[in-house]
Amino acid sequence: MKKQFVTALGLSSLLAGCGVVDSGSSGYCAGSFQGGSTDWSCLSCSGVDALAGDQPFDVAIDNDAGTSRRFQLGGSGGEMTIRAFAPSDTVFPAGVRAGLLMRFPAGSYNGVSVRFNAYLGSTPVLSTGGGSFAVSGNVDGAGSDTFYQVSPTANFDSLEAVITIAGNAEQAEFSVNEFCGDR
C-alpha cells in the first residue's frame, strides 16, 4: 500500500500532493517520536478506554507506519485529541515538517478536520495550524492512509493532533498510524 503526502498551506484548505512512501517506511519525516510518550482525550468516541490505564496511542510513536490504532467518533459529532511527546532532551527545530500519518473515513460530513498544536514544554508555540479541513464533504486523502502535516514556526517537543467530525448519521472509524517530525 502506498502513502500519500498532503501539505496544507497555512489555515487554508488548499492542499498539494508531494509523493508516495511505502507503508513500512517512515520516509515522510526524518525524525520520530519513538521513545517518547502519548496522551489523549476524546469527546463522543469509542474504541479506546480512558479507564484502562494504558496508552493506546503509543503505537503511533513506534516508528512503524504499518501499525495503527483505530477509534470511532460519534455520528452527531466528536473530537479526539492525541498528543505525542518527544523523548526527553529531544527538541524539533522551528520550520521543520511534522505531522501525523492517519486514515479518515470515506464519506461526506458537515465538518471534518485534523489540526495541529505544537508545544515546547507546556508552552504552546503553534495553535490550530496545518492539517486539513472541509466544511462540507471530506478532507483530501479520506479513505486512505495520508500524511497530514504542519511546519511549526518555533522549536517544539510535542505535537498534538485534534481530529474532529460532525454531521454524519453513524459513527465513523479513524486510524492513527504514526506521528513524526524532521530534526
Tell me the pLDDT tens digit for each residue of 71-87.
Answer: 999 877 889 999 999 99
- The pLDDT assigned to 30 comes to 75
Bigger pLDDT: 16 vs 172: 172
Taking residues 79-97, report their average pLDDT.
93
The confidence score (pLDDT) of residue 50 equals 66
Give CA separation, 59 vs 9, 48, 95, 127, in Å.
28, 13, 26, 24
Taking only the tens place, the pLDDT of each residue in 15-36 is 222 222 333 334 577 778 999 9
Q: Which pLDDT band, with edges at 50, 70 and 90, does 136 fall under?
A: confident
Distances (CA, A) of 2 to 5, 9, 21, 147, 157: 10, 23, 6, 11, 28
Contacts of 177 (CB under 8 A, 6+ apart): 60, 65, 66, 67, 68, 100, 101, 102, 103, 145
- Write the CATH number for 74: 2.60.120
* Domain span at 130: 2-181
Predicted pLDDT of residue 137: 75
Is the model more confident about 183 or about 73?
73
Q: Are 150 and 129 in contact (CB under 8 A)?
A: yes
pTM (two decimals)? 0.81
DSSP state at residue 176 = E
**Cα-atom radius of gyration of the chain, to the nearest Å?**
15
| Inter-residue contact 137 to 109 (CB < 8 Å) | yes
- Domain count across the chain: 1
According to DSSP, residue 57 is labeled G
Backbone phi, psi, residue 123, to 5°: -90, 120
Q: What is the pLDDT of residue 166?
A: 83
Question: What pLDDT does 12 receive?
Answer: 25
* Predicted confidence band of residue 112 (pLDDT cuts 50, 70, 90): confident
